[in-house]
Amino acid sequence: MDTVFIEGLEVDTVIGVYDWERGIRQCLRLDLDLGWDIQPAAADDDIARALDYAVLSARVGEFARDAHFQLVETFAERLAALLMAEFGIRWLRIRVTKPGAVPTAKGVGVEIERGCR
């Protein structure tokens, strides 16, 4: 299985458990590793047979724009399920970083892996 990756994708969403967080949008930074067989696309040099990371990134942005979760854990789980269902991805790893959540840390968050490689 090959891996298509998207590194450092920044999206704005409503995320957080505190009341003040529920009324603002915050930035999340995403790193995605997506299991995909690139050979069919490479054989024909055909974007239609590739996992189009521009389309996928736009979909992640739409998801984040519409999301209203308290936990980054929920954000990661729901995003993973959506990507697997909509794009036919059999395996993925998503790292969600919430910069500034802990003032003395560069970022905090979660990393999940779903599916079979």
User: Average of pLDDT values for 13-33?
Assistant: 96
User: Average of pLDDT values for 19-39?
Assistant: 96
User: Average of pLDDT values for 79-107?
Assistant: 96
Domain that holds residue 24: 2-115
Give the least confident one: 38-42, 87-91, 99-103: 99-103
From 64, 69, 80, 98, active-site residue: 98
Is 98 considered catalytic here?
A: yes
The tally of domains found in the chain comes to: 1
Give yes or no for residue 63 having a pLDDT over 90.
yes
CATH number for the domain spanning 10: value is: 3.30.1130.10
Give yes or no for residue 54 having a pLDDT over 90.
yes
Give yes or no for residue 39 having a pLDDT over 90.
yes
Mean pLDDT, the chain, rounded, equals 97
Residue 117 pLDDT class (50, 70, 90 cuts): confident
pTM for the structure as a whole: 0.95
Integer angstrom CA distances of residue 115 from 12, 53, 80: 26, 19, 9
- Spell out the residues 6+ positions from residue 29 whose beta carbon is closer than 8 angstroms to its own: 8, 9, 10, 96, 97, 99, 107
